[in-house]
Amino acid sequence: MNDRNIGEYRLNVDDIPKKLNDIHAGDVVYLSGTVYTARDAAHKKIISLMEKGEKLPFDVCGSAIYYAGPTPEKDGQVIGSCGPTTSSRMDMFTVPLIEAGLCAMIGKGKRSKAVIDAMKKHGAVYFCAVGGAGALAASHITSSDVIAFPELGCEAVRRLVFKDFPLIVGIDASGQSIVR
C-alpha cells in the first residue's frame, strides 16, 4: 500500500461495480443495500447448482456475499449476532462466483492468490468486517430473510439489507491489500 490518504465512502451495493477503480485497500466504506449470506455449506450447494446449470437462489452478477452465519434473532430483533467468518474457507468456491459476476465479498482474514487474481481479472472487491463485533454488525441490518437451503440452519442463504454497514476495503480490484 502507498502513502495516499484513506478515503471514506457511503456506497450502495449496486454502485460497487461502478466504483471499483475509486475505492482502494484501506478505505472505509459504509455499505447499504442487499447482501447475501453464504458460508461453506451454502457455497458448496451454489457451486453444485452452477455446475449442473440450474437456477441459483440469487443473481450472482453484481451481488455481494457476506461470509456470515447469524445467530437466531430474539424478540424484537431483525437478526441475531451477525459477525464475519474466516473468508479463506470459501476460497475453493470463490473463483467461479467472481467469474459469474460477483462484485464483492465480505468477511475476515486472508484470501488465496487464485481469488485475488480472479478479483483483478473480473473486477471485484473484498471488504473486511470487524470480527468479534457481531452485535454491532446486526445493528446495521434492517431486514433478513432465508431464501435458500433452510436445512443448513445458521448457514442457510439469507437476503440481508444493510444500512451503513461499516467495512474496510481489505483487497481492492487492482489486488492491493491490507490483509496480512
Q: Which residues are catalytic?
A: 43
Q: Cell for 17?
A: 461495480
Pairing relationship of beta strands 157-171 and 141-148 according to DSSP bridges: antiparallel
133 in Cβ contact with 68 (< 8 Å): no
If you write DSSP's letter for every residue of 130-172 in order, what string do you get?
PTT-HHHHHTTEEEEEEEE-GGGGGGSEEEEEEEEEEEEEEE-
